[in-house]
Structure 1
């Protein structure tokens, strides 16, 4: 099947912007819960975006891309599961850069993104906190992998040595790709990393054989498998069983620290939790909504597996800190950060 992905709005569980070794001691330090920060200055800075009006529900502006990870948010809105104390405005963005810009400008208060983007925002002067995992509490949720085209001579992970692999730099697919190859003993100098930012273009170049392989998210892996492509490796079935990737719901610190902000975030979380439970109880009841909102391509509309959505728990240090260390090693962070699991915040390493 020759699937046209030229539409730039094509949705995927797109990664957003985004080591160990000598940083091992820092990782341990980062996993130690810290005392709560002084929130006074952040609250003062957020006066222009007060979380709660003196009367009526708090307005919470929630951002996302068109991706399956946000299905509980759409279900909570459609089924009126968000508490009446909040008026939730959902905005959909075409790219990770647009979503990040909206958080930076204060146009949105919360977002579904990933730890790497969250760290980049914090390092850039817009501190955010990770509130709960959207997908990725287990390795099976929201997979990423390395795929080859229908006529590719690459059959095993070892065959990727010397191959060209399409990927976008500073992204979750790149992180997962590096880790999967590392598990197989394939280092940075053992393959040719080809920069192809746009996922539809990357997919088409892989299927046509113009690039040897491609690092892709779950929806494109599923589409490729229908088109006769082969997933060589993915993080749902990696050799070490590690949980390499998560998407997360985050909040700007300035919003949460404003009067009433914490209560508003908790209300969003309650609605999300109820929606996740509803989806898990009857996934097919929400297939039409998923297809509509995530804009799943026609070949996947009836068959794409609807994930089980996790309870609203904060990502652990073991999940997040390796991503921060990888970002520092690759130069995507100028200064080391560590993740405070208790607060969900990122803090500089002194």
Structure 2
């Protein structure tokens, strides 16, 4: 009897072991065993991408057990459409777009600044044509300025003019949506001035244009942000926190060793060869939320332009606010 009982017990243990092994194997085949959380983040090919690229290259996301698929897109329209389709968990964009999407009913939150915690980050400038006699903001009165309207470019343009004691109505805003076309018109002296961000500022200056004024002093005008869908925040909150742990590590690495990541920046945002050697990697902010004043300034501008479909406020759009 004892032998029989022992045999039954042994067979039972073997059955349980086989069942456990089978379940574990099924988990591996289905990719469920220890699989890292996944986030899909979209962006244009801009300077803001560098911390994500460094975190990928240096294995910081792997160390945090989060898998990040970074999706570069070619135009703001394509990026917004992809985000609105639900194909992305988040995207890097400017404050203007984030707020307009929120007011149109998109369930999203700003989870961090990408660039622009201080005016020195993420430079925009008014640049005069090579043969222009424009040397100061006041010289722009009555002159044509190439911009993309209802955008961060126009917001920065208005802000720079107002800080210099000018009114936006003092200049002739000319819509030239595509930056390469804007720069070509400027360098061919077909327009008096344009407003662009870096590296386009540096390229235009290298080809004879002149910076009239930029947004690196005074009121903080230009901010890019990282936004996440509410769905991602609800279902992947821990993954997003781990994403930012890796992101912060990458920011510190870049700020401590900027020259080490210059080649990655130059190749990833297509810095023209003419200025690649002299182009500098800028300072990046650690993950942080934009302050209420900066957000409210953009909301007010958008309201005055009639660009908000519904009223929104700081608490509506910022992650973690109630």
- State the TM-score, normalized to the length of structure 1: 0.79
CA distance in 2 between counterparts of 1:327 and 1:169 reads 12
Alignment of 1:326 with 2:305, yes or no, is: no
Task: Work out which of the two has the higher radius of gyration on C-alpha atoms and give 1 or 2.
Answer: 2
Structure 1, residues 158-182: CA drift from partner, whole Å, max 9, x if none?
1111001110012111101001111
Residue 84 (structure 1) shift: 4.3
1:131–1:314 Cα contact (<8 Å) kept: yes
Alignment of 1:125 with 2:100, yes or no, is: no
The correspondence for 1:73, drawn from 47, 52, 56, is: 52
The correspondence for 1:56, drawn from 19, 35, 44, is: 35
Runs of 5+ consecutive residues of structure 2 not aligned to the other structure = 1-31
Which position in structure 2 is the counterpart of 1:296?
271
2:156–2:222 Cα contact (<8 Å) kept: yes
1:337–1:346 Cα contact (<8 Å) kept: no
CA distance in 2 between counterparts of 1:139 and 1:84 reads 31
1:136–1:245 Cα contact (<8 Å) kept: yes
Q: Secondary structure of 1:140's match? A: coil
Structure 1, residues 255-304: CA drift from partner, whole Å, max 9, x if none?
1112xx11011011011100011111111111111111111111121111
Which position in structure 1 is the counterpart of 2:315?
340
* Structural RMSD (CA): 1.8
2:113–2:225 Cα contact (<8 Å) kept: yes
Which position in structure 2 is the counterpart of 1:140?
120
* Higher relative contact order structure (alpha carbons within 8 Å, sequence separation ≥ 6): 1
Runs of 5+ consecutive residues of structure 1 not aligned to the other structure = 1-52
Residue 345 (structure 1) shift: 7.7
Q: Secondary structure of 1:340's match? A: helix
Which position in structure 2 is the counterpart of 1:279?
254
Q: Secondary structure of 1:321's match? A: helix
CA distance in 2 between counterparts of 1:265 and 1:300 reads 36
Over 3 Å counting, the alpha-carbon distance change for 1:120 and 1:342 in structure 2 is closer
Residue 249 (structure 1) shift: 1.1
Alignment of 1:106 with 2:81, yes or no, is: no
Structure 1, residues 31-66: CA drift from partner, whole Å, max 9, x if none?
xxxxxxxxxxxxxxxxxxxxxx78511111011111
Q: Secondary structure of 1:337's match? A: coil
Over 3 Å counting, the alpha-carbon distance change for 1:214 and 1:342 in structure 2 is closer
Residue 185 (structure 1) shift: 2.5
* 1:218-237 pair list within 5 angstroms: 218-237=198-217
1:143–1:234 Cα contact (<8 Å) kept: yes
